[in-house]
A and B are shown apart, each in its own frame.
Chain A
Amino acid sequence: MPQRKPLHLHVPEPTGRPGRDTDFSYLPLSAAGAKRRPPVDVAAAQTNDLAFALIRVLDDAGQAVGPWAPQIAPDTLRRGLRTMMLTRAFDARMLIAQRQKKMSFYMQCLGEEAIACAHALAIGDGDMCFPTYRQQGLLLAREDNNMVDMICQLYSNARDPMKGRQLPVMYSSKKQGFFSISGNLATQVIQAVGWAMASAIKGDDKVASAWIGDGATAESDFHTGLTFAHVYRAPVILNVVNNQWAISTFQAIAGGEGTTFAARGAGCGIASLRVDGNDFLACFAATKWALERARSGFGPTLIEWVTYRAGAHSTSDDPSKYRPATDIQRFPLGDPIARLKQHLIALGIWSDAEHEATQKAVEAEVVAAQKEAEKFGTLIDAHTPSIESMFEDVYQQMPAHLQRQMAQVKQLEGQV
């Protein structure tokens, strides 16, 4: 009998920890423009190579190169950049408001702005996104974005569309194609597939867009979502935002070591792309491709967006306890705003002066919305919505037991 070595449990570790730089060579990259753009009716199995590659459009000089370079009007490009800047300004301002205790909690999307903002500009009215808590760009990128309502939700104030029932950032806006956010991870992925199945059942042409982070792909609903999307050829885009981190756990702990998240889609028979999530043009082009594929009845697409969570997980998190502070400067895909800015300047449709003016304008826009929202109270004002609103909407009509409980609270609070 040969001598066997004792087994050893493999527990993946990030290469970088506080005080030790990350070795980003674990990320398979491809040169900008290097990857082919298949027709939208491609058989899923014919995209397997793209699930292990990286679709990129913007090169280091800010030039749009290769078959994925989209035809985008200069106005749309400028709007895309402005939208990303607005999203970043919104996050920065709300982070401060949380520190001032005007709200209990906040989550930024710093560094991930391109994915949601480009997606929002690409998809159509009537399509439905099923976001996580880190796609605020989907709302802010809309021409009819309602920042005041968003801030009222964050403040749980008298104008909060969610009536103070939801933790901050758990927005819902049906009319803006933004499904109600749940704290339970991954649940929305299979719901998006169901929404897409409904669109197909009714002979509609609307598409659903499902969102999930790298960490949450380990939840069973992710697997379930892929299976149902594949089985019923549902018109859905399955977006996996791989920002490398799930709170403190590196993406390898979610199952990313030696593989990609796009590969999961390929394994389930779903056309799959892996895309530079900090490249606005690649984000826009890949979304348009998946959207056209879905809308034409060719089935679902999984897109892994490779990016980096530049900020803390939430206002309750301190990333310096588990990862190097230098990571964001060393991440090979850079910053999405800086890269699009470089491209627009190279095209001659943007300038440093315009950038500065836009920065001031978006900051002023956020400040104005914040001032308006504060007229309806903040958390620190103890400006809570009504007793009734706590008991309403549990059911369509309030059952007798809830009426009795509501009467009890009202009596205690002297509101009979």
Chain B
Amino acid sequence: MSQMTMIQALRDAMDVMLARDPNVVVYGQDVGYFGGVFRCTEGLQKKYGNQRVFDAPISEGGIVGTAVGMGAYGLRPVVEIQFADYVYPAFDQIVSEAARLRYRSAGDFTAPLTMRMPCGGGIYGGQTHSQSPEAIFTQVCGLRTVMPSNPYDAKGLLIASIECDDPVIFLEPKRLYNGPFDGHHDKPVVPWSSHPLGEVPEGHYSMPLDKAAIVRAGATVTIIAYGTMVHVAQAAATESGVDAEIIDLRSLWPLDLDTLVASVKKTGRCVIVHEATRACGLGAELASLVQEHCFYQLEAPIERVTGWDTPYPHAQEWLYFPTPKRVIDALQRVLEA
């Protein structure tokens, strides 16, 4: 075991896979010589050479499109989009091509790509460095969408994503890169070294892409969250004293329905928390699934705590970002209902 930040864990996952599978290639904007604007690929080009790890032109469509072609050849590309906010020029290649290739060719060609992209807010990133576009991907049939919330999961899930023969959107909450963040922006930053999930095994291990994790067992209400919101939800439970069961989805779609349903059937109450905007966000699908499968066990309306339906603001960061205060407010509403 080693102490790792999420950045180091992600880099270690790519290091492991580059060493293990000669078909793995890593590229994207500033990914090669410089090692990435977030240092996630630092040292990889030096170790594996520029035929395996290299810089790309500023063209998201080109990065994903070439990866689809490389996948058709037989490589296993791991590409980076510098910020999830900049994935949109690649949308046609992701939705029309990567996600559909296996289906439309009846398995003749496949697209075993991993598309890494830093996402989420809480960093004064403003409109184009804070977005959480996961619902745009979870709606696309043929894609897998994954988001870790700690270094241990980050490495295991990234290795599993690279090994998976389906195209994977791998969203990395950049607010969690250096340490867990529970939404209390006024408190000092905590490093991963003081967190148990900052302990990461050496070498190869992987985690299933369709399994959620119960990060806090509880009896009175189920909180479904992912990414940074897992830590916000934990803070909310601790501070409110509510005996909440907190589920970290990890795989956003396809997801682990059984774990959600079992928990809500037990608690009878459900709060869904995500940073992304509310309307037609992933929370809507989660609420719909819980309603469909747990209707007779529900004792209160399902609550959603999300970003507002506005572009991500700069100055109003902490009014926008779902903080423990807002989660506690929702917990109280479902408990009083």
Contact = CB atoms under 8 A, between A and B. Distances in A.
Nearest to A224: B62
B65 interface: yes
A201 B53 CA distance: 10
Interface in A178-205: 179-180, 182-184, 187, 190-199, 201-202
B257 A165 contact: no
Nearest to A174: B108
Given A193-B69, A199-B73, A172 B61 contact: no
A283 to B, nearest CB: 24
A166 B141 CA distance: 16
Interface in A117-137: 128, 130
Interface bin, chain B: 35 or more
Given A174-B109, A400-B254, A195 B69 contact: yes
Nearest to A234: B66
B70 A194 contact: yes
Contacts of A10: none
B141 A394 contact: yes
Nearest to A160: B106
A276 B45 CA distance: 44
A202 B89 CA distance: 28
Contact of A180 (B62, B70, B104, B254): B104
Given A399-B210, A399-B254, A400-B254, A191 B66 contact: yes
B65 A224 contact: yes
A128 to B, nearest CB: 7
A224 B106 contact: no
A396 B167 CA distance: 10
Nearest to B27: A197
A201 B59 CA distance: 20
Interface stretch (B11-19, B95-103, B177-185, B271-279): B95-103
B97 A208 contact: no
B198 to A, nearest CB: 31
Interface in A15-35: none
Given A180-B109, A182-B96, A393 B102 contact: yes
Contacts of A221: 61-62, 65, 92-93
B2 interface: no
A232 to B, nearest CB: 8
B57 A231 contact: yes
A180 B93 CA distance: 14
B75 to A, nearest CB: 5
Contact of B96 (A184, A193, A196): A184
Contacts of B93: 187, 190, 221
Contacts, number: 135
B69 A190 contact: yes
Interface bin, chain A: 35 or more
A298 interface: no
B242 interface: no
B69 A194 contact: yes
Contacts of B109: 172, 174, 179-180
A173 B108 contact: yes
A397 B103 CA distance: 12
B73 A198 contact: yes
A187 B61 CA distance: 9
A175 B240 CA distance: 62
Contacts of A162: 104-106
A396 B254 contact: no
Contacts of B75: 198, 201-202
B188 interface: no
A161 interface: yes
The 4 closest A-B pairs by CB, nearest first: A194-B69, A194-B66, A190-B65, A198-B73
Given A165-B104, A194-B65, A194-B68, 10 more contacts: A128-B73, A130-B69, A162-B104, A182-B104, A187-B92, A190-B61, A191-B97, A197-B66, A201-B25, A201-B75
18 contacts: A130-B69, A172-B104, A174-B109, A180-B101, A182-B100, A187-B92, A190-B61, A190-B65, A191-B97, A195-B73, A197-B69, A198-B70, A221-B61, A221-B93, A224-B59, A394-B102, A395-B102, A395-B144
Interface of B: 25, 51-52, 57, 59, 61-62, 65-70, 72-75, 89, 92-93, 96-97, 100-110, 141-142, 144, 164-166, 210, 254, 257
